Structure 1
Amino acid sequence: MADSLNPSPWHRLTAARPDWTRTVAARRAAAAGLVVLAAVAALRSDPHGDYTDIAVAAHDLSPGVALTAADIRLERRATAALPDGAQRDTDQVIGATLTAPARRGEVITDVRLLGSRLAESAAGPDARIVPVKLSDTALLDLIRPGDVVDVVTVTPDQDDRQPARPVVIASGAVVVLVSEKARGTSAGTDRVALVALPARSANEVAATTLVQAITLTIH
């Protein structure tokens, strides 16, 4: 009883401290604890599980050319940030043809390379990629990968008095590659466009190009 009626100076000092000082101290202690926990989690994370070696462009790349070992390098990237289809094995990339320009450091994915995965992503299951050699090569400078086009020809001339009529061989083809003009040449006679189509339409286009001139109309 006597102690409660005559408190010590220290007791008087601590009892007079306002509540907000206790709140600030508690918040500081909690913040310090979170920082410590974050540091521990970072130190204990498994770098091999969080990062993956994937194939990236070693320098700026142009489309239509087979990739070499000098074009690709492996680079360690965060696994969670990788796009679907990122290539982890350079052996699967070297020798493949890139379908669009790529900047240095860009991740190489399966749909950026000529193959069944690209055809499927562009034109659906069981799709095919067919080369189209155009009678009007100027069109090759106008179309780009991703453009949707129709493949058109004309009826064979059976009667000079009847004008030739256009025939749509395939509709809704997706351009996946336009070959570049060879350096030092002005003519584009060797250039082609690769388009993705369902298998039946692709075969019809391929057969027609053997005997008739064709062109494209752009959607």
Structure 2
Amino acid sequence: MAESLNPPPWRRLTAARPDWTRTVAARRVAAAGLVVLAAVAALRSDPRGEFTEVAVAAHDLSPGTALTAADVHLERRSTTSLPDGAQREVDEVVGATLTAPARRGEVLTDVRLLGSRLAESAAGPDARIVPLQLSDTALLDLIRAGDVVDVLTVAGDQDDQHPTRPVVVASGAVVVLVSEKPRAAGAGGDRVALVALPARSANEVAAISLVQAVTVTIH
């Protein structure tokens, strides 16, 4: 009872403080809190920046397809989940040849399209892509994109004095595309395998295949 009648000095000062000072202090605390929230919001990334429009397959696609506007459309995908080389414009892929099967909704990348990027990723910075018309066309049903093969031809004549012998024209060629069989019965057109090789080897293979039959062995 004596304490309540004679409060300590700090309690008397607190009791004597006007109500308006407490209101101003509360407002200052609230304002400081709003400033902190604004700073946090400014530091956060823009949610719209976390997504990127990329070209995706509009439906299932087969290798060797020359892409049209009906085969590709843009979709927003999480930027952090995108593969390297994802194509961001439809115009970048329309007219390009697809080198591997693609499922509906699959993101199209530079190494899925026939071109210099694909050649470089397969066989180095100076790589070239060479078409091969194989003498044994049954091999085209066995090899797939990504297979490593050697390109061979024969030298000599088919007689006893100059017997033929195998000659390796290039080794370590990477298959990047095998053309599909014609779907219509009796349809014409020669099937080819496209392989990636360093420039010098690619030029030798291209020249020899003009005048001699070639085949491949699979690694």
TM-score (norm 2): 0.78
Q: What is the deviation of 1:157? A: 1.3
C-alpha distance 188-152 of structure 1, shift in aligned 2 (>3 A)? farther
Matched residue type, 2:202: A
Q: What is the deviation of 1:47? A: 2.9
Within 2, Cα distance between the matches of 1:185 and 1:200? 39
Instruction: Output the aligned Cα RMSD.
Output: 2.2
* Range with bigger deviation, 94-103 or 184-193: 184-193
Q: What is the deviation of 1:45? A: 4.7
Within 2, Cα distance between the matches of 1:187 and 1:200? 35
Deviations 1:57-87 (A, max 9, x none): 0000001121000000000001111000000
Moved over 2 A (4+): 158-163, 185-189
Which blocks of at least 5 consecutive residues in structure 2 are unaligned? 4-36
Q: Could you tell me the percent identity over the aligned residues?
A: 80
Deviations 1:173-199 (A, max 9, x none): 000000001112368860000000000
Bigger radius of gyration: 2
Q: What SS does the aligned partner of 1:207 have?
A: helix
Matched residue type, 1:75: E
Matched residue type, 2:172: G
Q: What SS does the aligned partner of 1:210 have?
A: helix
- Provide the residue aligned with 2:87 in structure 1: 87
Matched residue type, 1:184: A
Within 1, Cα distance between the matches of 2:188 and 2:181? 6
- Provide the residue aligned with 2:98 in structure 1: 98
- Provide the residue aligned with 1:147 in structure 2: 147
Within 2, Cα distance between the matches of 1:101 and 1:188? 23
Within 1, Cα distance between the matches of 2:133 and 2:187? 13
TM-score (norm 1): 0.78
Within 2, Cα distance between the matches of 1:48 and 1:200? 47
Matched residue type, 2:207: A
Deviations 1:159-215 (A, max 9, x none): 544321000000000000000011123688600000000000000000011100000
